[in-house]
Structure 1
């Protein structure tokens, strides 16, 4: 039986008293999922311990829908959180993502709470609330004065009418008699009620036995206690009755309370982990450290605990409790579908290394960049004055929407190849015919091979016909599924669709848009693509190996015998974005024409101005200046902690101290003299593109360029930096800012002239 609403009770003495109103709050588990997608091979081993309340807006909507559900209700789901990216199944009490496959978490309707403010399970709540409705503990509270006050306010209608009539007739004698009658009746009911409470306790009518071996004792209208059923002696029960609901702690007695309070919420959020999820680059640093320092490996239990905390944080960021209402129906003009590339197998080792997390980070980064830079705000609202969009320096609520939605497209789990699993191929005896990839690794650098195998394995699969067809089928179906579902959930959406492909995902999306698969394949995209963003892309080297050029479809002459060597992605604008340290990223413009090899890639501007921007800018001053900067940084850090480290400081020579202290001065001198003493050969040369060059490039991108290089940091040269560069685009502000800028400016006309930097 499900208890949905308050009811009216009639006690043995004829007093009609409504069941106290129940303040409900909905919660979701944030640490232990009920289930995960099949490829995780996950089995739930314990019950969740961390529950977080939904936003007031979502909680209200969940309760409203819950109260309206009948046995005949077909749709029992409610979309929640920022942009309604998640849904709650009110039949199964579970929270799951709407547009992608991911962990499924328990949901609880918070009615009864433990002493930590966490909601009891749905089944236990139903039983305890059922006992509450039946035993009516709100009728035998221990505050006699309060009870008398309530009884005086609940006198019968006949008495009230009699009182009113006596006042109207101005009969003082009748008035006194009526007042006396009211007080006598209240005293009589109070005595009877006090005796009734004693009878209830002597007959143990305030107890409810549970199936889990525990007993609930109802103390008053809001408080109860739960304890082992073996504690059933008169002495134990008397002690529990007298002290159970007080602040005194009794062993094995757990206080529970009815109804949510705001104080509970404060306690819950205070106990949540505050550590943000690490960057992917941090994870790779840890993996390298573990691989080459096996004696320093983190304990498995610690890793699992850390993973759960990361998962909790990630889910909380996704739910975005503060903005759930303001973003639930926001206008979306641009939908970006992101296709993952290589390295997703690492998601089996690290909960946070998965594409869904990466896209959630990208979405959050875009929003953060948008809110802090009016250049993007102006692009999103071209008809509004930027100054009028703000109030006291902050954007007005109606302008906080960047009008962009970003969703992940995952396909790797649908391909039947895994580094640690044997292929499903058997000999005549039913034994595996082939080993797994991990079993053919050599021992010399096995840790490094394991890491690189997890990261770059998928590139090899792309050139095996058996797997490439699986990849195309999986990606096209998933793109169409997500697009169709998004249109169903957002019927008013009529915006532009963009595709962002990372690494191998860019090659897949490029080939899909170029129809570079078997001609008989019936699967095609259900939508047109505005912009294709290839990020950290190997498309350049793939097409070079295929001896293929990239050319806009409208510029291909079918009569030209070389036209069969040209590919044309069906999108309005093609972007190739890469980090200088990314070993997987290659240029595309030289494949349009070899003469473009002399053009330097267009530099992606910094997303936001600040100290990090200035630090990155030091890279252009050269290696010598970078070394001086490192020394200056070291000097700053040591100066800051000089007093603390005074006793253990190792003496240095005068030359060493002078070198450190002069480092900052050298930097300043280099900056001020750079323009005066610059070598003519080091001056960056520029040239205007010819009409022919501009025609070839603007046909592929309205900006007149395809290749875009991200800013390079001072310290970005190492093997770890190279791998990190390939996987960390999604958490990079410059990448997020550039893609957002180009998406919001999609309607701009092609440039009519263009200047580019050249190598020589």
Structure 2
């Protein structure tokens, strides 16, 4: 047996024999670093720019208890899968001719440990040593994460490196802790491999031949098997988290990303914390936490023996307390001859951590302090893994620390630790450590008396302390938001069972989502690539929170239909996948043809002057989307909207089984997005074909439909120039024939070709209701009532969305509910209930001129397009005595997502019952005094 093998055996055997019993499992807690709390429905918007480093230096936030349980369960399940995956790879590797993989992988030692401890230990779960052998660069299970400064110099051990030792280990050796996955920064050979720096002896060939047609001698050098192994991905897991299940945590690299939209600087680092600062319950830095746990194991602080030692130290005095101090970081080990590594362990220093660090640094002592610290963390992780065994709990901290106790990440390089019991410890700087010379006795005079000294830390997370230090938000608005919460289901948890176990959604009255609202943006999203605060996703995140608050409003939810659940709002970001920078004029010949020197090819950048770069950048990123849409790029833009909407819808149906059969989908389209929505819905099938009814069974990469995979119930247009585009097309807005809306089913006589249109006619859209919300200060918005019938539109009063906030428009004592649900209008009818007498009867000429047939057709069309009998609604914005209209105009086009009246209208119209019977008085169409000579106003029947 070589000296390196003997050293490894003695090293592992020494650690295993030094621990009398496994330490207790830690109540670990997963934290994430994000400016937006994912469990707070009223969390604020992110900072205007997330590009600065200070954005990410925020205190980490804990996942909820329910999410933490799911994360920890998935973490340990992933370890089992990784163990099995490594075993399979190891068995395949050992069977390859020429032994391209070294004699045995980490799974070999895992099997030895299980055989040694018996089959009963295997059922306890896998050990962390195997879990660290993942071939994933940023893996949290695969290597020890340090601070950003440490990670650059932290040596990593390849999974195959430990096999050079394990090949000669006997069956009594415990599971190996030495295997590491390749670092994302660099690779280093195994420290234990460095015991023997001699090159490996060439393997003996079964035959030696000069027959070049015989390729057996090339088996070892053949790259094909290696490529196949590289293509095999190690097991991974994704766990949906957050109060609405809109994010998931990717394991083992511990990153939190959104599920339904592309990340917009909203990815978050996730850490699995084991030790916590007692005064804040924030996690201790990952390297420090692992060093604390290694010292905890070294001193065996959970045993009765340690309690006796503490009592004896207090009785003896300062000298006794000096003996119980544990150095957080071991001293730099002295160089030892490589030929006699056993002397490292058999020396006078019987400290587990000191011995482990000495073994790992004996072959090549670290050159810098960072390298020395990295070796110590590596040794600490080995101790933690061996102490729990291959089937024990994972007591290691994982992840990348970005925030320390006071913001800055610290290592406490010169500090010592006093473990005061089986859970608490105190980090002390040198001037606070016990000293017989100065008579310092921190354990007796401070710690045991409850006085503050040093930095107190605790092992395991305490939810009650966190709730006391960080009380949850309270208030009427928060209560409404929690009542209106809408939760996405996942395969791991069902909304029917989750409220019983998750207190965060226990107060939600309708957590199950029945209505999905997809929001299509308009112009300007190219600008968000340079200015993140303009990103559409941020606006929709705030819009979603306001919808949750409105769903919890008592006046609103009383008008919901029977069986109404929650409303979920998701953005459709179609612009980021498009690029129109391929140039200007192009000939129609094939791209394979040689370039024509007579053809001039230029791009937008070539024709843009370098003057006023800021203004021209805004014009290029915002205003040019409209001419792009009116060019040959239009099919590409429409296809991008369809593809992104279908992708989000398919992903939603995968996470919410049964939604495709029972859920309702609505669309809110803003600006140019509303024009594209009219284009798409004009060609949309009246009913989605049955073979496309279940999107989860479709492969959208292979089969890309040219329409939505869902039937659209309500279409809301906000800041829409769609009326102008209908005018350009010389078309009109018409309902779809045979469309199964509630109003069409109630009046079969309206389902005729004279009233309805067919698929493919521009403006003949397949929806139940269409709403056109207009901000009076928005210069882009146009009305659409006249696109149905101009004369009928002129006969209707201008409709305003009832205001959700009090103002001088409404008399004293008028509540918001009465304005919305009691039929109160901005232009109230005469207070008297007596019908005014006719000033005169209409003349025969007037009756002959009035076309009642056209009016009837127009009224039926309008009613089929909207149950309320009208399409245009003006929303209140701005106003005031000192208002400057031109300044108000600048922000009007993008202000819809924050308008309370618009938000309430969306919630009410999405949640109400279909048909005229479900409409609210405050939104119904009201006619003017027509025909001339008739008094009063009439509501459209």
What's the TM-score bracket when you normalise by the shorter of the two chains?
0.5 to 0.7
Q: 2: distance between equivalents of 1:82 and 1:66?
A: 20
2:720 paired with 1:546: no
Q: 2: distance between equivalents of 1:427 and 1:132?
A: 75
- Select the residue among 769, 772, 781 that pairs with 1:585: 781
CA drift at 1:461: 2.1
Match of 1:78 in 2: 239
CA drift at 1:141: 8.8
Q: 1: distance between equivalents of 2:772 and 2:568?
A: 21
Match of 1:436 in 2: 605
Match of 1:700 in 2: 865
CA drift at 1:345: 3.4
The CA RMSD measured in Å over matched residues stands at: 5.4
CA drift at 1:97: 1.1
- Change beyond 3 A, Cα 1:134–1:441: same
Q: TM-score, normalised by structure 1?
A: 0.61
Q: 1: distance between equivalents of 2:757 and 2:259?
A: 48
Match of 1:88 in 2: 249
CA drift at 1:487: 0.9
1:36-72 CA distance string (max 9 Å, x none): xxxx997979964420112222223222333333341
Q: 1: distance between equivalents of 2:640 and 2:440?
A: 65
- Select the residue among 746, 751, 756 that pairs with 2:927: 756
1:648-668 CA distance string (max 9 Å, x none): xxxxxxxxxxxxxxxxxxxxx
SS of 2:720's equivalent?
A: coil
- Select the residue among 677, 684, 687 that pairs with 1:509: 677
- Change beyond 3 A, Cα 1:560–1:361: closer
Q: 2: distance between equivalents of 1:408 and 1:141?
A: 60
Q: 2: distance between equivalents of 1:130 and 1:104?
A: 31
Alignment of 1:70-149 (within 5 A): 70-72=79-81, 74=235, 76-102=237-263, 103-114=266-277, 116-122=280-286, 125-126=289-290, 128-139=292-303
Match of 1:358 in 2: 539
- Change beyond 3 A, Cα 1:557–1:55: same
The question of whether the paired residues in 1 share the 8 Å contact of 2:683 and 2:760 is answered with no
Match of 2:164 in 1: none
The question of whether the paired residues in 2 share the 8 Å contact of 1:219 and 1:245 is answered with no
The question of whether the paired residues in 2 share the 8 Å contact of 1:231 and 1:237 is answered with no
2:527 paired with 1:523: no
Match of 1:482 in 2: 648
SS of 1:512's equivalent?
A: helix
Alignment of 1:323-362 (within 5 A): 323-324=504-505, 330-362=511-543
Alignment of 1:260-279 (within 5 A): 260-262=461-463, 265=466, 269=470
2:189 paired with 1:28: no
2:577 paired with 1:414: yes
- Select the residue among 620, 623, 627 that pairs with 1:456: 623
CA drift at 1:615: 4.3
CA drift at 1:585: 0.8
CA drift at 1:489: 0.6
- Change beyond 3 A, Cα 1:500–1:47: closer
Q: 2: distance between equivalents of 1:733 and 1:708?
A: 14
- Change beyond 3 A, Cα 1:707–1:219: same
Q: 2: distance between equivalents of 1:58 and 1:22?
A: 17
The question of whether the paired residues in 1 share the 8 Å contact of 2:236 and 2:251 is answered with no
The question of whether the paired residues in 1 share the 8 Å contact of 2:433 and 2:440 is answered with no
CA drift at 1:596: 3.6
SS of 2:669's equivalent?
A: strand
Q: 2: distance between equivalents of 1:265 and 1:584?
A: 50
SS of 2:534's equivalent?
A: coil
1:361-388 CA distance string (max 9 Å, x none): 22221222232342x21222548xxxxx
The question of whether the paired residues in 2 share the 8 Å contact of 1:334 and 1:405 is answered with yes
The question of whether the paired residues in 2 share the 8 Å contact of 1:607 and 1:738 is answered with no
Q: 2: distance between equivalents of 1:561 and 1:603?
A: 26
- Select the residue among 885, 894, 897 that pairs with 1:730: 897
- Change beyond 3 A, Cα 1:691–1:140: same
Q: 1: distance between equivalents of 2:452 and 2:868?
A: 71
2:806 paired with 1:613: yes
- Change beyond 3 A, Cα 1:729–1:117: same
- Select the residue among 562, 570, 576 that pairs with 2:772: 576
Alignment of 1:113-512 (within 5 A): 113-114=276-277, 116-122=280-286, 125-126=289-290, 128-139=292-303, 198=323, 205=351, 210-211=373-374, 214=413, 217-220=416-419, 221-224=422-425, 256-262=457-463, 265=466, 269=470, 323-324=504-505, 330-374=511-555, 376-380=556-560, 382=562, 403-417=566-580, 433-436=602-605, 439-440=608-609, 443=612, 454-466=621-633, 468-493=634-659, 494-512=662-680
The question of whether the paired residues in 2 share the 8 Å contact of 1:504 and 1:537 is answered with yes
The question of whether the paired residues in 2 share the 8 Å contact of 1:370 and 1:402 is answered with no
CA drift at 1:559: 13
Q: 1: distance between equivalents of 2:759 and 2:309?
A: 95
Q: 1: distance between equivalents of 2:258 and 2:757?
A: 50
Q: 2: distance between equivalents of 1:260 and 1:341?
A: 46
- Change beyond 3 A, Cα 1:228–1:589: same
CA drift at 1:219: 1.7
CA drift at 1:235: 9.4
Alignment of 1:519-668 (within 5 A): 522-554=705-737, 557=753, 566-600=762-796, 603-606=799-802, 608=804, 612-615=805-808, 617=810
The question of whether the paired residues in 1 share the 8 Å contact of 2:239 and 2:248 is answered with yes
1:239-298 CA distance string (max 9 Å, x none): 798699799999xx86543222347636874899xxx9xxxxxxxxxxxxxxxxxxxxxx
Q: 2: distance between equivalents of 1:578 and 1:339?
A: 17
CA drift at 1:492: 3.2
SS of 1:756's equivalent?
A: coil
Point out the structure with the larger helix share. Answer: 1
Q: 2: distance between equivalents of 1:501 and 1:45?
A: 35
Residue correspondences, number: 563
The question of whether the paired residues in 2 share the 8 Å contact of 1:28 and 1:51 is answered with yes
Gaps of 5+ in 2: 1-14, 38-48, 83-234, 327-347, 358-372, 378-410, 478-501, 587-594, 686-702, 738-750, 812-826, 837-849, 933-941
SS of 1:736's equivalent?
A: helix
The question of whether the paired residues in 2 share the 8 Å contact of 1:506 and 1:537 is answered with yes
Match of 2:366 in 1: none
CA drift at 1:30: 1.4
CA drift at 1:138: 3.7
- Change beyond 3 A, Cα 1:53–1:413: same
Gaps of 5+ in 1: 1-8, 34-39, 149-186, 277-320, 384-400, 619-670, 681-686
The question of whether the paired residues in 2 share the 8 Å contact of 1:57 and 1:325 is answered with no
